[in-house]
Each structure stands twice: as C-alpha cells, then as structure tokens.
A = this chain, B = another copy of it.
C-alpha cells in the first residue's frame, strides 16, 4: 500500500467520452444534443468483477479533476479525500469523476461548438438539469462497463446528483453519500442564484451570451456573482474567525472607496480569480440546474411538491445512505438533510445521518478534512467489507 502523500496519484490525464452521435441525447426540457462529450478522470483500478467503482460528483464550479495532479501541477478539488490510503482509497476503489454537462471544463456546455453553426453554443445550448447531468453520467458508467456503482459521493450540487442517481437510477447504486445538500432547492438558494445571474446579465460585455470571440467577456459581472457565492459558502462565525474587522495593509480607515477590510479583499480576489477559470454562461446553466432541482415534484412541474420525497426514493430500499450536514451551513441548512433522512427512512432505506458541528458554513464539506476522512473512510471500509470488495 502506497503512503498517503498529497501527490501519491501523480499526474492524472483527463479522458474524453463522446456519445449520442447518431441517436441524439434528449434533455429533460425536451431539447436534444448531438454529440455529447463528457470529460472524466479515474483513479485506481476497476477490479475483475467491476464492483469497486465510486463516482464522485462535483459542485457548481468543480471539474473532473478531483484528485492527483493535473498537467500544470494543481491538485484536484477533493485530493484530501481521494487517493491511496485516503477516505476513498484508490488502492481499493476505482474512483471516477466527470465534469457535468453545462460546465466549462471539457464536457458539453455553452462554450462547446454547436455543430449546426460551427460557433460556440452560447445560450443556444439547451438548459441542463441535475437529471440531465446524471443521465449523461449513466452513459459514461455504461461505457465503462459498470452495472452498479459501489458508491456515489458529492457535496452541494454534487450531493444533488447523488440523490438524483439514488432516486431515478436506483438499481445502479449500492451506496450514496450526499453531503451538505438538499433534495429540493429552497427559495433562498434560488434567490442567490438569480442575483448572481442578474449580475452577469447586467454586464454589457455579456452580449446576451454571444461574447465568445468578441474580445469582451463579462468578467465584472461574473466576479460579482462569485463574490455573492463566496459569502454564502462561509458563515457569520467563520467570517469572524477568518477576517474579523481587520483591515488589509492599513492601520486606520482610509475614508475612501478603496477596498480596505480583509473580507472585502478576500471577496475581490476570489471574484477576479474565478473569471480566469470559469465561463459566465456556464455559471448561468449550472445555477439554473440547482434552482430546478426538486425530487419531491414531477420533473418540470411548478414545484409544489405534489409527490412526497419518500415516494421519490420508493426504489431505493437497497441503497445505504450516509447523509451529512453541517451546523453552520445556512445555504443548505441541516433541516434539509433531516427532511431527506425522514423521507429515506420512510422509504425503507438504511440511513446513517450526521449533523456535524462546524463553524465553516457550507464550505465545511471540503474544509473539515479530518472529520470527513474518518467518517467517509469508515463508511467506505465497512461497505467494502460487507460487499466483499477486495
């Protein structure tokens, strides 16, 4: 067994899977897409009976690069938890992570070339739902020859994908680990999404989404959207301990409109940095997918929760769930996870639930590394033993 050093996986090459060349991929909203590309990475080896596959689902701004190093030497977004000897131990499990549909890290999205025009899709790319993201992942898993995933794990939007798999592709799932997420986006979540989108729409460089190749990009709007997002990922408490009322490189107030508190500087820096790595149209698509997500309503309906959440998991009795929420997460508050746990229990599933005491807000699922390592590691270890995965 290799030791768990940060770069034990070494450089990981992204892989490309393209499907729906002949038969177009039909989206939840009725539009079709052809072809469809997913970029994905894998870590570890698929075993002989193909029973050790774990799909990691990324959050809003994530990519397929979950672990190891990319060609530029950057560690994956969940490198803390994926690798030899880590929670998702790549000496035992075959771990897969694919970039979601609608994103901008290689999978089909608004930055992709529309074969009908030879130009980037922009807003002509069809609106994507969590259901569409997962339906594309199902094609990838088919392609990899995997009948059933040993486990799925993800936080935030990644957790929504985990729940979508468990509800609508139950037979393909043995265990599901939704972290810091919800089965039904709240109006507050929709509100923050929409304000982020409005910040992008308000940027004249957005040009109704047709900014590719114009030399003008809606970076200012995207940066504001990201700053709003960052506030929601933190908590009142974590902002107190991280920044307090400290000034950035100043002893006294400047009485001007130059950024002066550390928290302002943090937001500005992260807003700017985001524009160097993310696409504004993709931000629109991915946040829209969040907003639509509601397992308690029939797909596409007006979201009045006509179905009970338990009904959504009627075929999930065989799935083992590990549901995790964080006490200071006000974007996906714990009561969402508690409602989910009630529904899963009512549906007859085997559920372990933890509401973890943390001051880190929504970001806790990525920041509480020791707790997550212990928790996910022991869940995966027990699962592997009971399923006879060696």
Contacts and interface: CB of A to CB of B under 8 A. Distances in A.
A185 B268 contact: no
A329 to B, nearest CB: 12
Contact of A303 (B199, B245, B259): B245
A263 to B, nearest CB: 4
A326 interface: no
Contacts of A224: 195, 198-199, 202, 224
Given A29-B253, A236-B186, A245-B185, A263 B304 contact: no
B187 A255 contact: no
A278 interface: no
A228 to B, nearest CB: 6
A153 B250 CA distance: 34
A106 interface: no
A252 interface: yes
Contact of A187 (B29, B126, B197, B261): B261
A100 interface: no
Contacts of A185: 245
Contacts of A304: 244-246
A201 to B, nearest CB: 8
Interface residues of A, number: 69
A271 B198 contact: yes
Interface stretch (A10-18, A39-47, A284-292, A307-315): A284-292
Contacts of A244: 187, 303-304
A256 interface: yes
Interface string A163-199: 0000000000000000000001111101110110111
A71 interface: no
The 8 A-B pairs with the shortest beta carbon distances in the complex, nearest first, are A29-B255, A245-B303, A202-B220, A187-B239, A127-B255, A194-B264, A187-B263, A195-B227
Contacts of A202: 199, 202-203, 220-221, 223-224
Given A261-B194, A303-B245, A188 B288 contact: no
